[in-house]
Amino acid sequence: MDRIRHRGEYMAVGFAALDKRIIRDTETLHDFLWHGEKKDETSLSAKLRKDGRDADAFLHLGGRLRKNAESLAQDLTSSGKGESLFELLEHSWGLAAATVLRAKGNYRGAAERAKAVISSASIGVCANAGCFEFVQEWEAGKIDFETYTGKLADFLEPKGYMDSGQFKRLLNAVYEFGMNWNAVASKPEQSLAARTSIEGAGWCLLTSVSIRELLGVPPKFSTHDFADIVERIVDRI
C-alpha cells in the first residue's frame, strides 16, 4: 500500500483501486476522442487530472506526470492534447502496472500489460506517420501482429528511421511474451520473461516518441519528462 499526499494530508491508495480508476478514465477518454461518445468534458478532465496527480504520487515521479497531465487536460479537444494525454496516462501507467504485477508474482499479468502498452504505442506511431491502414488491417484480423510490424518497419525506413528493424523486433518480442505465455516455465524463467517484457516495452515507448519526433509529429507532452518517467518506472523492477 502506497500513500499519496495531498495538501499536507496522507491518503492510503491501493494499487488495485487506482489501476481500476485509471483504466476506466482512459477508456472513457478514448471513446470520447475516437468514437465520438458524448461526455461531460469538464468532469472527465477533472478525473484525468486527478489520475495524473495520484499516479505521479504513487510512483514517486516528482511531478513529471502530474504537471504534463494537468497541462494537457485543460482542453481535451485542442490540437491533439487529448490524444497526447491518453498516451501519457495509458502508456506510463500501463508500464507501471506491469512492474507492480511482477512484484506480486503475477508474471503473466505483467507481460500482458506490457503487450498492451506497446500495441498502443505502435498505433500512435501509425496514426501520426500516415499509415493507419496497417492498424486497421491488423485489428480487422486480416494480418497478424508480426506482419503488421513488418509493414510499419518497411514504411518507416525510407522516411529516415534506420533502426526500424530493431523497433519491429522488440515490438514482436514483447507482444509474443504477452500473447503466448509459457505458464509451465520455472518461476525464475517467468520472472525474467516479465522483466524482459517490461524493459522491452519501456524501450519501445521511448523509441516510438523518437520516431514521431523524427517525422515532425511529436506528442504534446514533454518528451524529456516522458523519458524520465519511463526510466523511473522501469527502475522499479
State the residue range of the domain holding 48. Answer: 2-234
Q: What H or E segment, with its residue span, contains residue 226?
A: helix 223-234
What's the pLDDT at 79?
82
Q: Based on the structure, what is the number of domains in the chain?
A: 1
What's the pLDDT at 193?
98
- The pTM score is 0.93
What is the DSSP annotation of 125-174?
Answer: HHHHHT-HHHHHHHHTTSS-HHHHHHHHHHHHGGGT-TTHHHHHHHHHHH
Using left for φ > 0, alpha for ψ between -120 and 50, and beta otherwise, residue 12 falls in: beta
pLDDT 10s digit of each residue in the chain, 237 long?
454 444 433 344 689 999 999 999 999 999 999 998 888 999 999 999 999 999 999 999 999 999 999 999 999 988 899 999 999 999 999 999 999 999 999 999 999 999 999 999 999 999 999 999 999 999 999 999 999 999 999 999 999 998 999 999 999 999 999 999 999 999 999 999 999 999 999 999 999 999 999 999 999 999 999 999 999 999 999
What's the pLDDT at 38?
85
What does each C-alpha distance from 97 to 55, 61, 112, 184 come to in angstroms? 10, 14, 10, 23
| Maximum Cα–Cα distance across the chain | 54
Which residues does 67 contact at the CB level (< 8 Å), separation at least 6? 225
